[in-house]
């Protein structure tokens, strides 16, 4: 019986792409002043992986490259979506980044409070409790 590693390669590429993309988008968006630079680089990487996926004769490499291509192309969109999350106060702004400082000045919902940096308790927080958490962080 011949072993088929396409599924394993696809699973690994999916996990690696999604995990690294999520972390990278948050960190790069937080620190980059001009978003068009990382967006352009990620788009180029995505298109490069599309090209590799379409031209390689190796099925395993083609599957992994195709998954990474879609992940990179999606991450390019996520830079814009992450910026919108910051404008709405769903993600923390970096006051040391001039682009984020402008967002903090223009959007009253924007905050430097990181909603993910709190102890989970297993039940939902009330609006008053969330407001107290946010006020206590300032």
For the chain, what are the domain ranges? 6-113
Of 39, 40, 29, give the one whose Cα is nearest residue 99.
Answer: 29
Cα 54 from Cα 92, distance rounded (Å): 39
Q: Write the pLDDT tens digit of every residue in 70-129.
A: 999 999 999 999 999 999 999 999 999 999 999 999 999 998 988 777 777 788 888 888
Determine if the pTM surpasses 0.85. no
CA 136 to chain CA centroid, Å, is 27
Contact 28, 38 (CB under 8 A): yes
């Amino acid at each position: 019986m011949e072993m088929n590693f396409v599924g394993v390669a696809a699973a690994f590429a999916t996990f690696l792409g999604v995990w690294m993309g999520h972390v990278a988008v948050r960190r790069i968006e937080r620190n980059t002043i001009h978003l068009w630079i990382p967006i352009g680089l990620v788009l180029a990487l995505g298109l490069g992986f599309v090209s590799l996926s379409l031209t390689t004769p190796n099925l395993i490499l083609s599957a992994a490259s195709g998954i990474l291509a879609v992940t990179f192309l999606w991450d390019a969109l996520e830079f814009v979506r992450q910026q919108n999350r910051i404008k709405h106060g769903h993600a923390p702004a970096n006051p040391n980044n001039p682009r984020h400082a402008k967002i903090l000045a223009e959007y009253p919902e924007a905050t430097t409070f990181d909603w993910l940096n709190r102890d989970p308790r297993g039940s939902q927080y009330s609006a008053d409790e969330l407001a107290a958490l946010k006020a206590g962080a300032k």
